[in-house]
Structure 1
Amino acid sequence: MFPMPEPVLSLRHAGLTLPADAGPVEILRDITLDIAPGETVGLVGPSGSGKSSLLMLMGGLERATAGTVRALGHDLSGMDEDALARFRLGNLGVVFQSFHLIPTMTALENVATPLELAGIRDAFARAASELDAVGLSYRAGHYPSQMSGGEQQRVALARASVMRPRILLADEPTGNLDERTGAAIIDLLFGLPERFGATLVLVTHDERLARRCHRIVRLRDGRIDSQTEGTRQAEAAE
C-alpha cells in the first residue's frame, strides 16, 4: 500500500472568534479538514455560514483563535506577519470577488508585482506571458478603470497564478460578473490547476459550480455540516 500524500491544507479543531461591541462573535467552530494536493474543493453554505472566513484562515489572512491551520506543512499560527507575507508570495494565489487590482498600475504592472516582490528578473516577460494565457495581451497597457469587470478578473487570475502557487484560493470570483462572463472566468480558474497542478479551494453560492469540484464542503453556523463528492471526483473514478 502506498502512503497517502501529505495534505496541502490541514485544519484541526480550528476556530475563529472576533471581538464586537456586543461581545465576542464566534465565526468558525471546530473545523477539522484535510485537502489533498491537486484537489478542487467547493465551500458552500448560506450567507454568514463562515465560508469566506474559512478561506481566509487557509490563506493566513485571518489567524485562527483556536486549533491549528497548516499549509504545505507550515503552521500558519506560528508565523509573524512578515513570514506570512513571504509564505503567501511563493505558495498561495488568492482571487477575490472585488478584483483588488492596483488602480494606478497597468494590467501588465499588476501581474508583474508579485514577481518583482520576489526579485524575479524577467518579471515583465513572465507577466506578459500570463496575460496572454488568459487572453488579455491586448490589454497589457490599460489601467483597471479602462477595463470591464470580466477583464479585471482575468488580470486578477493572471496575477494569482503567475508565481505558480501550489494553492489557489478563490472567494466568489464571479460574484460581480454577468453569467456569460462569469462562466468564462470559471473555465479559466479550473484550468489553472490543470496547467500547473495547484490545489483549488473555491467559495461559491452556486451549487452547479460547486459540483464541478472534486469535493463539496458545506458549512452551516460556522461548522462543517457535510461533505460530498462533486462531478470531478466521479469523473476521476471512472
Structure 2
Amino acid sequence: MSEPVLSLQDVTLNLRGNAGLVEILHKISLDVTRGETLGLIGPSGSGKSSLLMVMGGLERATAGQVRALGHDLTAMSEDALARFRRDHMGVVFQSFHLIPTMTALENVATPLELAGDRRAFDRARAMLDKVGLSHRTDHYPAQMSGGEQQRVALARALAPEPDILLADEPTGNLDGVNGAAIVDLLFGLSREHGATLVLVTHAHDLAARCDRVVRLRDGQVDDADLRAAE
C-alpha cells in the first residue's frame, strides 16, 4: 500500500489568546490518500480551519507529526515549508488573498514565476481561460466581483498543478449561483490535475460531493468516515 499523501499523527495545536494558552486541536490522527477528496465539517470553533492550516504547514503543530508526500512538515524550517508549498500545494482562502496592486493575470502568474517557470504568463492566461475569466486578465481585484475574485484565487492555486489542494470555505463569501460555479470548478480542476483535495465547509451539499467527510468537535475527530449518503 502506498504512503498517504497527507498523514497526521497525534497532532496537537495550542495557541495563546487573551485567556492564556488554548488547545485548538487535540491529538488528531488522520490519513488522506492520493486523489481523494476530503471534506472537513463541524460547528464553528471546532478546529476545521486550524486543521487545514496545520496540513499546509501554515500553522506549526505544537505536538505530533504532519507528513505530506513523505516529508515531515513539522521538522522543516519556515523557508523549507514555503518552498514545499510552492512546489506541491495550492491553497484557496475564503477571503481570496489576492494582491490588490496586481492584475488577475499577474496574481495567477506570480507563484509560477517564483517557481522559475518561463511560461508563467502563458500558463496563467490558460488557467484564467479555464475558469471563464479570459476577459478579466488585465483587471485588478477591486474591479472584479466576489465570484470573479474567487475564481482568480482558484486559478492561482491550480495553475502550478499542485499535488495537494487545500480550500478553506471556498464558497463562504459567495451567493448561491457563484458558489455552485466555484464548486464545479474546484472539483473539476482538481480531478483533471489529479490533486488531492481537502476542504473546510459548513455546506452539506458541498461536503456530500467529497469521497469522505471528517467531522470535528472541540478540536478532536468526532467521526472520520462519514459518507455522502449519511
Please name the residue that 1:27 is paired with: 24
Q: Does 1:195 align with 2:179?
A: no
1:214–1:229 Cα contact (<8 Å) kept: no
Please name the residue that 2:69 is paired with: 72
Q: How many residues align?
A: 229
Matching of residues 45-194 of structure 1 within 5 Å? 45-194=42-191
Corresponding residue SS for 2:225: strand
TM superposition score normalised by structure 1 = 0.94
| Gaps in structure 2 of 5+ consecutive residues | none
Please name the residue that 2:33 is paired with: 36
Amino acid at match of 1:166: D
Amino acid at match of 2:92: V
Corresponding residue SS for 1:7: coil
| Gaps in structure 1 of 5+ consecutive residues | none
Report the CA distance between 1:19 and its aligned residue. 1.4
Report the CA distance between 1:229 and its aligned residue. 4.2
Structure-1 separation of matches of 2:86 and 2:53? 15
1:49–1:221 Cα contact (<8 Å) kept: yes
Please name the residue that 2:214 is paired with: 217
Amino acid at match of 1:141: D
Aligned-residue identity in percent: 72
Structure-2 separation of matches of 1:130 and 1:179? 23
TM superposition score normalised by structure 2 = 0.98
Report the CA distance between 1:192 and its aligned residue. 1.7
Aligned Cα RMSD in Å?
A: 0.9
Amino acid at match of 1:225: D
1:107–1:139 Cα contact (<8 Å) kept: yes
Structure-2 separation of matches of 1:21 and 1:177? 32
1:212–1:230 Cα contact (<8 Å) kept: no
Deviations 1:179-224 (A, max 9, x none): 1110000000001221110000010001121011000000000000
